[in-house]
Structure 1
Amino acid sequence: MKQRVIAFTGISGVGKTTFLRKFGELLAFQHVTGGSLIAAAKTSVTNGRDDLRYSDLDENQHLLIEGFAMARDANAEIIIMDGHVVIDDGERLTKISSDVFKALDVMALVHLEADPTRIAENRAKDTARSRPSYDPMRLRHHQDMSRQHALSIAEQLRIGFYIATHDDVAHLAALLGPTPTD
């Protein structure tokens, strides 16, 4: 069995956790998040998980790779790494290098998208998280940039690329489920 690592991306507030919860009802997989991988690899985290976006990006990406190696379940057929391809530090959007996804041995990249108004509402309702509050126009720009960069990473690595919405849970499970050669 070849383990399949899938990067599940989208901007903050798009609903990745909600999507993956429903997805998990249809397909077994190990779910890891970029923020928790970084935090797990960091020897001393003084800030919360959301504050990691303000830390040194190169260090965080190294920690993400290290944390993934520590958390990876060798028995899982599918590992979904829930994270971002573009980091918003409140001042600018920074693209994550395709080298990070190559180091994780990602075989497909899924970009979850939603209406920017819904994303703004999700962010406003989620008081447990500390995220910048933006209007839908700015969120649309962020989502467009994230999609373009995700596609660029997939092309560089020559891996599958899929755009998903919240209506695509069953379709994506069928697409990514066990292959006949497993």
Structure 2
Amino acid sequence: MAQNFLPKRLPNLFLVLALATAIYSAKATNLKETNLSLYFPDILAPGATSSTVIPVAGVASKAQTFTQFGIVFVTDDFITESADPNPLEVGRAQYMYMTAGLDRLNSHVMISIVFTNKEYSGSTLEIQGVSKQFEVVREVSVVAGTGKFRFARGYATFETYSYHVATHAVIRCNVTVQHY
């Protein structure tokens, strides 16, 4: 009797699989792609209230630098659409990163981009992964989003746009995401 059961149910199984594939394909065609170019001005002012980057953990007996293995930084940068001296703020980049490679070349980043202005207000993008901090262009995954970026997936590239060792850096972030 078991031999007859499978052949009779096989056409129904194929019908269910075909229907599931059709539904998934229909949903996948509703994906939108968004490309953004954003700038994160890091203000490095140790001990000052204007600093947007601070070290919060590391080896107590060593200087806290970007290349010290195990150092953790917390950042709250404003985000702009250009590198102009007086740019319009469009959001905040609130993140944590740590030097995670024993060779001091890689950092692990966890970034929340929180939009506060224009069409994406209230939406977020979540970025996470290894950033090869001494490469000219660093690529990291976009793993999630909310609001207009719900179910976002994609990638972000980071480039140092300008840098002054004692006071500031401006990082350009190019984001490509697919979302609903």
Alignment TM-score, normalising by the size of structure 2: 0.26
Larger Rg computed on CA atoms: 2
Q: In proportion to residue count, which structure has more strand? A: 2
Q: In proportion to residue count, which structure has more helix? A: 1
Using CA pairs below 8 Å that are at least 6 residues apart, which structure has the higher relative contact order?
1
Alignment TM-score, normalising by the size of structure 1: 0.26
